[in-house]
A and B are shown apart, each in its own frame.
Chain A
C-alpha cells in the first residue's frame, strides 16, 4: 500500500486526507488520541492515550516527548508514562499543573477526550534491569513520581522480585498522586515499603498510613528508615533541588545511584563576556553571551532552533558542533571535541563556536 502510494502522494498530503477519516491516521508520525481523562490529585490529571501504530512503545521509567498545538505553536515537553505497557498499547500520562507552565496548563485546562497529541520515541535509562532482584530505593518528589509509579506498577506486576522502598515527597496530602493505590500495595505486600512525606503540612499526624507530615528527606531521616543504604540501588527523580540533595545524601553511600531532574540547573556564570557563534547552515554569525545556555542565548537573538525538554535529556535540540569548546551546565564538564553532537539547551559556549544550525 505504502509503496503503491509513494509516487502519487507525499506523506504530508497523505496525512492531510487520512486525518479527515481518522484523526490519528498518519503515514509515519506517531500520533495518539486522548481516550479518557481523570483527576489524579489536586492539580494533577491523568490522560489516557491510544497511540497509532507508529508509536514504538515504552519501558517503565522512560520519558516520552509529547507535542501539542497551543495557539498555533507546537509545544513539546517530556512526560513519563505512569502505567505499564499492556496489550492495548495505551499510554497514561499524569500531568501536574505547573504555575505558568504552558504545556501543563494546556493539557489540564484545554484538552478533551478525542484530541490528538504527537508522541516522540521513549527514552531514558531509569528502568528495571533484566534481573531486578536485590534492594531498590526510589526517591520521588512532585511530578518525579510519574516514572516511579510506572516502575512500582511494573515491579508489582512482575510479582515482586526484590525489596522495594518508595519515598515520595509532596507538598500536601491533596497533591499526592496514586496515594490510595500505593497504600493498598504497601498494606498487601510486605516487601514494598512506602513513605509519603508532606513538606507543607506540619499539623499532627491525622492517621493516614505511611504518611509523615512536615517530613523532609535528609541523611538522618534516611538512615533511620533505610539503614542498609549501601545495599540499595537508588533512583531519584524530581526538581533539580531535590535531586541535588538526594545525590548528596545517597549518591556516595548507595550501591548505585541514578537521577533525573526536571528543572534546568542554575547557570554557572564564570565566563563573562561574549563569544562569536557561527551558524553554518543558516549562514549567520552572532555575538552571544557565554554565561547562558546556547539555546537561550540564540533565542534571545531571535533564532529558534528545534528543542524539546530544555533540560538535556531528550536530544531534540542536538546539533553538530563543528568546532569550539563548550561546557555542560549539568555536569560542568568541558568538551573540546570537534564534530560532535551538542545539546544546546544545557551547554554554554566557552570559546567561539561553529554549529551546524
Chain B
C-alpha cells in the first residue's frame, strides 16, 4: 500500500551489492557468536524450567483463586518462552555450534503438540526457503485462511472471521497437523494407510502432551485435579493466542508481499534477501517483547539470518534498516497494536471477494520476477 510504494526496483548490480552488504553484516555477527550467546540460551532454559515449576506448584494450590491465576500465567509464560525463544530458535540450529545435544536443532523436541520433525520440514525448510511464494510456502494462510487477494476466494471464506478466532485458540493443533496433508487424503490423493503412517509420530506426540498436561499432572494433584486441569488448558490457550498473534504479525501485515513461483528462476543471493525483506514485518518494542516473541519481533532479520542466534537480531536491526534505506526499500515495522490491527483487517477484508492490486516489481532487469502488493 502506501509504504510499499517506497520500494524502488533494483538492478541486478544493485541487488548484488545489497546482498554483499548483508552478507558482510552476517560475517561480522558470526565472528562475535560465542560464550555470551551460550550463557544467554542457558539462562533462557533456566527461566523456562523455573517458571514451569513455579506455575505447576502454584496450580496445585489452585483452589485458592490468586494461586490459580498466577500459576496459569506462569505456566503460560513458561510455554511461550519455551516455544519461541528456546524451541523455535534451537530447532533452527541457531545453537548447533555449541554441540550440546540438549540444544541441537536436529533432535530438540518442544513442549507443543506438533512434532519438531514436521516443523523442521514445514517451517525451517519450506517456509524459510520459499518465504511467501504462493504454492510453495504453506504458511500463507496455513491452508485455512485467505490473507492475500491472490488466494482464490470461495464462499466458505465468509466464515473466516469466526474461523480465524477458533484457529487462534487451537493454534498448536493447526501446526501439529499442518504437514499431515488431510486435504490430500480427503481428495483421495493419498491412501488411508499412507495417512496413518504420516500421522503416527504426530499421534504419539499428541498423546504424550495430552497425558502430561491433562492427565498426569492433574492426577498428581489428587483432590485438586480440576484446578490443575483447567490451569493447564488455559495456559496452553494463552500460549496459542500469543504465538498466533506474533507469527501472523510476521508475514500478514498490510505491506507484506507474496510472490509467484517464477521468482525462484535464477534467484541471486541479493534477490533472496530482498524477497525475505518484502515478505516479512517487524514489531517494534522493548527487550521484553523481543524475548517473549522469541525475537520474531525481528522477523526481517530472522528471515535474512535464520541460523544466527536470535538475540543478535536486535544489534543487527539498525544496520539492516540503514542498508534498506540506502537501497530505497521499505523496512516494515510498527507497534504490536498497529501490526496486529493490519492482520485483523486482512482477515476481515479478504473473507470477502477481493482482487490483487497493482504489481510491484523486485528488480528492473527481470520482468518475470514480479511481485504483487
B26's nearest neighbour on chain A, judged by CB, is A302
Asked if B336 is an interface residue, CB under 8 A from chain A, the answer is no
Asked if B49 is an interface residue, CB under 8 A from chain A, the answer is yes
A217 smallest CB distance to B (angstroms): 37
Q: Mark A58-102, 1 if CB is under 8 A from B, else 0.
A: 000000000101011111100000000000000000000000000
Asked if B39 is an interface residue, CB under 8 A from chain A, the answer is yes
Contact B45–A16 (Cβ < 8 Å): yes
Which of B7-15, B91-99, B167-175, B267-275 forms contacts with chain A?
Answer: B91-99
Which of A4-12, A49-57, A203-211, A242-250 forms contacts with chain B?
Answer: A4-12
Contact A16–B49 (Cβ < 8 Å): yes
3 tightest A-B CB contacts, nearest first? A72-B38, A74-B99, A72-B35
Asked if A13 is an interface residue, CB under 8 A from chain B, the answer is yes
Q: Secondary structure at chain B's binding surface: helix, strand, loop or mixed?
A: helix
Cα distance A205–B124 in the bound complex, in angstroms: 67
How many chain A residues have a CB neighbour from B under 8 Å? 22
Contact B49–A283 (Cβ < 8 Å): no
Cα distance A74–B98 in the bound complex, in angstroms: 6
Contact of A73 among B97, B102, B208 (CB under 8 A): B97
Contact A73–B216 (Cβ < 8 Å): no
For chain A, residues 259 to 291, give those with C-beta under 8 angstroms from any C-beta of chain B: 281, 283
Cross-chain pair count, CB within 8 angstroms = 47
Q: Mark B197-216, 1 if CB is under 8 A from A, else 0.
A: 00000000000100110011
Whether A10 contacts B98 in the complex (CB less than 8 A), given A16-B45, A283-B125, A283-B129, comes out as no
A31 smallest CB distance to B (angstroms): 12
Contact B217–A8 (Cβ < 8 Å): yes
Q: Mark B70-110, 1 if CB is under 8 A from A, else 0.
A: 00000000000000000000000000111111100010010
How many chain B residues have a CB neighbour from A under 8 Å? 28
Contact B49–A13 (Cβ < 8 Å): yes
Asked if A15 is an interface residue, CB under 8 A from chain B, the answer is yes
Cα distance A10–B107 in the bound complex, in angstroms: 13
Asked if B21 is an interface residue, CB under 8 A from chain A, the answer is no
Q: Mark A12-32, 1 if CB is under 8 A from B, else 0.
A: 110111000000000001000
A302's nearest neighbour on chain B, judged by CB, is B30
Contact of B98 among A15, A73, A281, A306 (CB under 8 A): A73
Cα distance A30–B301 in the bound complex, in angstroms: 39
Asked if A304 is an interface residue, CB under 8 A from chain B, the answer is yes
Contact A304–B97 (Cβ < 8 Å): yes
- With a 10 A CB-CB cut-off, give which of A12, A75, A304 has the most chain B CB atoms: A12
B30 smallest CB distance to A (angstroms): 8
Q: Using Cβ atoms and an 8 Å threshold, which residues of chain B touch A72?
A: 34-39, 98
- With a 10 A CB-CB cut-off, give which of A73, A75, A76 has the most chain B CB atoms: A73
B110's nearest neighbour on chain A, judged by CB, is A10
Q: Using Cβ atoms and an 8 Å threshold, which residues of chain A touch B96?
A: 304
